[in-house]
Amino acid sequence: MTDVVVVGGGVAGLVAARDLAKGGAHVVLVEASDVLGGMIRRHTVAGLDLDMGADSFATRNDAVGRLAIELGLGNEVTTPDPRGAWLMTRDGRTFPIPQTGLLGIPGSPMAADVLAVVGQRAALRAQMDSLLPSPVGSKATSLGAMVRTRMGAQVLDDLVVPIVAGVHSTHPDRLDPDRVAPGLRAAMLREGSLARAVLALRARATAGSAVQGIRGGIVRLVDELVADMETYHVDVRMGARATAVEQHAVDVVTADGGAERLVAEHVLSSTSDPDRTTPAARTGIELVTLVVDRPELDAAPRGTGMLVHPDATGVRAKAITHSTVKWPWLAEAAEGRHVLRLSYAVPAADDDAARVGTSRPVDPADPTGRRATDDATALLGVPVTPASVVGAASVRWQGPDTTAAGLADGVVGIGEASAGRGLAGIVASSRAAAERILDS
Ligand SMILES: Cc1cc2nc3c(=O)[nH]c(=O)nc-3n(C[C@H](O)[C@H](O)[C@H](O)COP(=O)(O)OP(=O)(O)OC[C@H]3O[C@@H](n4cnc5c(N)ncnc54)[C@H](O)[C@@H]3O)c2cc1C
């Protein structure tokens, strides 16, 4: 019998296990794979250590910033280059993303940067939001329905769709606003309009920027969390897959075929129980990283990158991050070379489990490399030829799971399966869960 079993050694499980053990609980952490960190990993491309997945965290709360300070990384927290990212609309037009928005929803519909993208007519329609009674759209079941009702279809299609596709890999009609923009619905009722709600939520962000990163990569959070497993004597079981997760017991099978039942006062799980969760059609994501020797990119032609409307023709990537513009520390490390990261939607059926979370080198002349260099050329307006590529790699990930985790009664849900995609929400909910247990 132990105090707590935590299932899953991704960031959610590591944060919860650390807090619980630091608070005096005896904690067993079970991780199915042979690495800790889950989706937060690093790979090395052309000699550069790079995040394989997440490269930033949202500042809509201070959860990750506070954790970074506690982990000794407070001085390493960094803000992305203020030039910001661009977007490509359905018809292939490109613009800087308007400054005062949230997931593309404009906080100032008549601002010049919004007008430039949607035109006057659509901006006027969006401005009507300020005249509508606040309950209009407040019961919307999707983010798309909320924006369409308050601000019209064009703002939704030109601004929200490409940004949501880049961030959440899906259409706003398939996203629960309470999950992806917590507090937005309540702020709309309180403030009287969607635009004012956006401005209120933005004002709450702890930094001037909507996201921040860590010098050297987000993965440094995981390095420190893993080191703390030893410091606080967490009993970490690697290669241990939970097969049944109940309120006071977790059945585990090990890589060598062994089986064990762990009995605990409390069980926290960052995975959902397949028997209790409606399977959702999840998309896959392929990230192709190119390290490029192309001095014309020094001018940062599209700021920190570009989010592409899913129906835009002529490019297959759904987003590109110009990582060496976004993160000055990386530009320094790259010594004049550029790091570009393109993301692609791939069918989940195409997803071979062994490839998920694994980095593979890419030959710039093969079809994957060609597709990435062609898209980088089209998106950045600078010829990125296979010959200019000094290193390339591809990683597959699963897109976010939009169904709520099903768990046995009494099991405490943490992590992406319960709190949705993104570190800000996950770290906050893991810490709150640990605190509740320590207080009980
Ligand atoms: C390409 C990409 C880019 C992203 N970019 C950002 C970003 O910029 N900012 C941001 O905030 N977020 C971003 N995210 C999301 C963020 O990385 C995740 O939401 C977060 O890392 C999830 O953490 P988690 O601990 O909940 O889950 P995971 O990281 O998935 O960890 C779950 C762990 O549980 C283990 N496990 C699974 N089943 C079992 C079992 N039965 N028994 C035992 N162990 C099990 C897994 O092996 C894994 O280690 C991105 C995600 C991806 C894929």
The pLDDT assigned to 87 comes to 93
Atom of ligand 1 nearest to the CA of 245: 41
The domains located in the chain, with CATH, are 2-38+63-77+216-278+402-439 (3.50.50.60), 98-134+142-203 (1.10.3110.10), 284-398 (3.90.660.20)
d(CA 362, CA 255): 30
Pocket test for ligand 1, best of 51, 270, 318 (most atoms within 8 A of CB): 270
The residue whose CA has the least distance to atom 52 of ligand 1 is: 53
For residues 230-265, one letter each, b for 16 or more C-beta atoms within 10 angstroms of the residue's C-beta and e for the rest, the string is eebebebbeebbbeebbeeebebeeeeeeeeebebe
Q: Is 222 in the pocket of ligand 1 (CB under 6 A)?
A: no
| pLDDT, tens digit, 9 for 90 and up, residues 163-194 | 998 888 789 999 999 988 889 999 999 999 99
Beta bridge partners of 214: 77
Parallel, antiparallel or unpaired: strands 359-361 and 77-78: unpaired
Q: Is 241 in the pocket of ligand 1 (CB under 6 A)?
A: yes
Atom of ligand 1 nearest to the CA of 55: 8
The DSSP code sequence of 327-371 is -HHHHHHHTT-EEEEEEEEE-GGG--GGGBT-EEE--TTSHHHHH
> Would you say residue 353 has pLDDT above 80?
no
Average pLDDT of span 292-315 = 95
Q: Is 38 in the pocket of ligand 1 (CB under 6 A)?
A: yes
d(CA 35, CA 352): 19
Q: Is 65 in the pocket of ligand 1 (CB under 6 A)?
A: no
Beta bridge partners of 308: 88
Q: Is 11 in the pocket of ligand 1 (CB under 6 A)?
A: yes
Tokens standing for residue 245 = 């997760």
| pLDDT, tens digit, 9 for 90 and up, residues 16-25 | 999 999 999 9
Q: Is 308 in the pocket of ligand 1 (CB under 6 A)?
A: no
Centre a 10 Å sphere on the Cβ of residue 24 and count the other Cβ atoms it contains. 9
Q: Is 137 in the pocket of ligand 1 (CB under 6 A)?
A: no
| pLDDT, tens digit, 9 for 90 and up, residues 227-257 | 999 999 999 999 999 999 999 999 999 988 8
Reported confidence tier of residue 392, pLDDT bands at 50, 70, 90 = very high
Q: Is 270 in the pocket of ligand 1 (CB under 6 A)?
A: yes
Atom of ligand 1 nearest to the CA of 426: 26
397 CA to middle of ligand 1, Å? 9
pTM, full prediction = 0.91
Q: At 94, is the secondary structure helix, strand, or coil?
A: strand
Average pLDDT of span 62-77 = 97
Q: Is 397 in the pocket of ligand 1 (CB under 6 A)?
A: yes
404 CA to middle of ligand 1, Å? 15
Q: Is 57 in the pocket of ligand 1 (CB under 6 A)?
A: yes
292 CA to middle of ligand 1, Å? 28
Atom of ligand 1 nearest to the CA of 240: 43
Burial class, 62, CB count within 10 angstroms (exposed 0-12 / middle 13-18 / buried 19+): middle
Neighbouring C-alpha atoms within 13 Å toward the C-beta of 424: 17
| pLDDT, tens digit, 9 for 90 and up, residues 95-121 | 999 988 999 999 999 999 999 999 999
Q: Is 54 in the pocket of ligand 1 (CB under 6 A)?
A: yes
d(CA 99, CA 105): 10
40 CA to middle of ligand 1, Å? 7
Reported confidence tier of residue 207, pLDDT bands at 50, 70, 90 = low
369 CA to middle of ligand 1, Å? 26
d(CA 349, CA 340): 27
400 CA to middle of ligand 1, Å? 9
> Would you say residue 202 has pLDDT above 90?
no
